[in-house]
Amino acid sequence: MPSQQRQTASVTDASRASEAGGTPRKAVALISGGLDSLLAARVILDQGIHVEGINFYTGFCVEGHTHAIRNHEHAKPKRNNALWTAEQLGIKLHIIEVIEEYKDVVINPKHGYGANLNPCLDCKGFMVRKAREWMEKNGFDFIITGEVLGQRPMSQRRDTLPVVARESGAFDRLLRPLCARLLPETLPEREGWVDRNKLLDFNGRSRKPQMALAERYGFKEYAQPAGGCCFLTNEQYSHKLADLWQTRGTKQYEIDDIMLLKVGRHLRPRPHFKMIVGRDEGENNFLNGYRKHFTHLFATSHEGPLVLIDGTVDDDDLRLAARLTARFGKGREAESVTLTVTDTAGNSRVLDVAPLPASDIPPEWYL
Amino acid sequence: MGHFVLDARQLMCPMPVIRAQNRVAELQPGDTLEVHATDPGALHDIPTWCRINGHEVLSAVRTGNEISIVLRVAGT
């Protein structure tokens, strides 16, 4: 059997029935909320294809949590960019939570990490595979993504785009409308479901072609997430995740772990404990929801942060943590600050400490 | 037609909209779903999700830190 036939033979009976019945062709579009996936879906909608969007929530998505938590973000209109994109396009959007399944992608990436703990190639393969499963279950015909050849150093190279198509099982049912004319023909093109001549040949890291196309379509406002839409591309976040794995001695995480890495200042003054320090009222409120699971402390004589302690601490550690907590509050210049410390059993006690001078906080304590 | 309640409090966005989406998938056209959430993003996201999927938002109110949204499931 020729390779191409073998690859397309993986489609389901539901999909084949759709073809045989002459029903309108249907594409599922990966919608990240960024400009590229918006444009890719629009290009295919223009060809009369029925398009529905799919968006995966991994727990590492940038939008959402942190935008809502910090005080200064409250002034900005908060929206889910994937939902907003779908509304602009007039398509349905299916948001799929993949937190548990995604752990294996982060912990054991077959293709390794990028500049930080971003497993971009494995991630793209995972998401296209999930989209392929959704396509087969729902009788859709092909998958579209906003990938652009040469745009990303790991997952969007000429040699890695085929890896995604192959490892996801999507093969030639994966169409990248923004760069399709630079790639081999896919099934939707060969079958005439879409006109290859109306697809695009975007290439490289420049965003100008996308911005010009957005203007032509009349999209005046769109998300432009710097460094992508994933916390794992963020150096500081990756450093905190690496610290978590190292100190626990295992590459595992729970959803609460990765949520807390997004919030507050993180300091590790001793190898066996870390402090998470709220930076404003919003973060203090968020951390307050976790206080029963951690030894925690806050100043009572002055305004200041709520601080969670991750690790096992003795009295000397607590005193150091209290001095640091005082340092980050409004009593930082006071001679003495009074704090309440509560352990995980709910036992509280009062400490009076002198705030730690800023000069006594080594930079390496900050994660 | 029934009225159902979904507790999505303490969940961060986009989890409230995901829970609402999954619950609606189990309901019948004309059923109503009352969603309670605490993430302020839900006040925007759930009505947006309803609009793009054809469901009707009957009310969306914020009282203190809690958000309550009532939606009617669209017909097929």
Residue B56 within a domain: yes
Q: How many helices (H) and strands (E) does chain A have?
A: 14, 11
Reading the block at residue A111, the tokens are: 């293709």
Are A300 and A189 in a shared domain? no
Are A188 and A44 in a shared domain? yes
Are A174 and A82 in a shared domain? yes
Is residue B56 a contact partner of residue B49, using CB atoms and an 8 Å limit? no
Question: What amino acid is encoded at A14 in this protein?
Answer: A
Give A36-81 pLDDT, tens digit per residue.
999 999 999 999 999 999 999 999 987 654 555 666 555 555 678 8
Report helix, strand or coil for A20: helix
Give A238-284 pLDDT, tens digit per residue.
999 999 999 999 999 999 999 899 889 999 999 999 999 999 988 89
Can the peptide bond before residue B14 be classed as cis, meaning omega within 30 degrees of 0? yes
Residue A32 within a domain: yes
What is the rounded end-to-end Cα distance, in angstroms, of chain B?
15
pLDDT (tens place) for every residue of chain A, 367 residues total: 344 443 443 444 434 434 445 678 999 999 998 899 999 999 999 999 999 999 999 999 876 545 556 665 555 556 788 999 999 999 999 999 999 999 999 999 999 998 999 898 999 999 999 999 999 999 999 999 999 998 876 667 888 889 999 999 999 999 999 999 999 999 999 999 999 999 999 998 888 999 999 999 999 887 765 446 788 988 999 999 999 999 999 999 999 999 899 889 999 999 999 999 999 988 898 899 899 999 999 999 999 999 999 999 999 999 999 999 999 999 999 999 999 999 999 999 999 999 999 999 999 999 9
Residue A256 within a domain: no
Residue B49 within a domain: yes
The C-alpha of B7 sits at a distance from chain A's nearest C-alpha, in angstroms, of 17
Torsion of CA A291, A353, A301, A270, to 10 degrees: -30
Residue A237 φ/ψ region, left for φ over 0, alpha for ψ in the -120 to 50 degree band, beta for the rest:
alpha
Residue B55 within a domain: yes
The C-alpha of B51 sits at a distance from chain A's nearest C-alpha, in angstroms, of 8
Count residue pairs from A and B with Cβ separation < 8 A: 64
Residue A253 within a domain: no
Residue A25 within a domain: yes
Q: How far is CA A299 from CA A147, A313, A339, in A?
A: 50, 18, 4
Strands A337-342 vs A93-97: parallel, antiparallel or unpaired: unpaired
Residue A213 within a domain: yes
Mean of the per-residue pLDDT values of chain B: 94
Is residue A38 a contact partner of residue A158, using CB atoms and an 8 Å limit? no
The residues, any chain, with a CB within 8 Å of residue A170's CB and separated by 6 or more, are A128, A129, A131, A132, A135, A143, A164
Contacts of A289 in chain B (CB under 8 A): 10
Q: Is the pTM for the entire model greater than 0.80?
A: yes
Strands A295-299 vs A307-311: parallel, antiparallel or unpaired: antiparallel
Residue B75 within a domain: no
Which helix (DSSP H) or strand (DSSP E) does residue B23 occupy? helix B15-24
Q: CA-CA distance, A305 to B14, in Å (whole number)?
A: 27
Q: Decide if pLDDT at B50 tops 60.
A: yes
Contacts of B10 in chain A (CB under 8 A): 289
Nearest CA in chain B to A61: B14
Give B55-68 pLDDT, tens digit per residue.
999 999 999 889 99
The C-alpha of B17 sits at a distance from chain A's nearest C-alpha, in angstroms, of 8
Residue A138 within a domain: yes
Q: What is the CATH number of the domain that holds A182?
A: 3.40.50.620
Q: CA-CA distance, B1 to B71, in Å (whole number)?
A: 13
Identify the domain containing residue B61 by its residue range.
3-33+40-65
A78, A231, A262: best to mutate for the B interface, most B CBs within 10 A: A78
Identify the domain containing residue A322 by its residue range.
263-365
Interface touch B41/A87, C-beta < 8 Å: no
Q: Is A97 an 8 Å CB contact of chain B?
A: yes
Residue B70 within a domain: no
Contacts of A90 in chain B (CB under 8 A): 52
Q: Is A16 an 8 Å CB contact of chain B?
A: no
pLDDT of residue A199: 98
**A77, A91, A259 ranked by CB distance to B12: nearest:** A259
Q: CA-CA distance, A155 to A146, in Å (whole number)?
A: 12
pLDDT of residue A7: 43
Domain count, chain A: 2
Which helix (DSSP H) or strand (DSSP E) does residue A44 occupy? helix A35-45
Could you give the residue numbers annotated as active site of B? 13
pLDDT of residue A66: 53
Would you give the DSSP letter of residue A14? H
Domain count, chain B: 1
Residue A27 within a domain: yes
pLDDT of residue A78: 67
Q: How many helices (H) and strands (E) does chain B have?
A: 2, 4
Are A218 and A114 in a shared domain? yes
Residue B74 within a domain: no
pLDDT of residue A3: 43
Residue A55 within a domain: yes
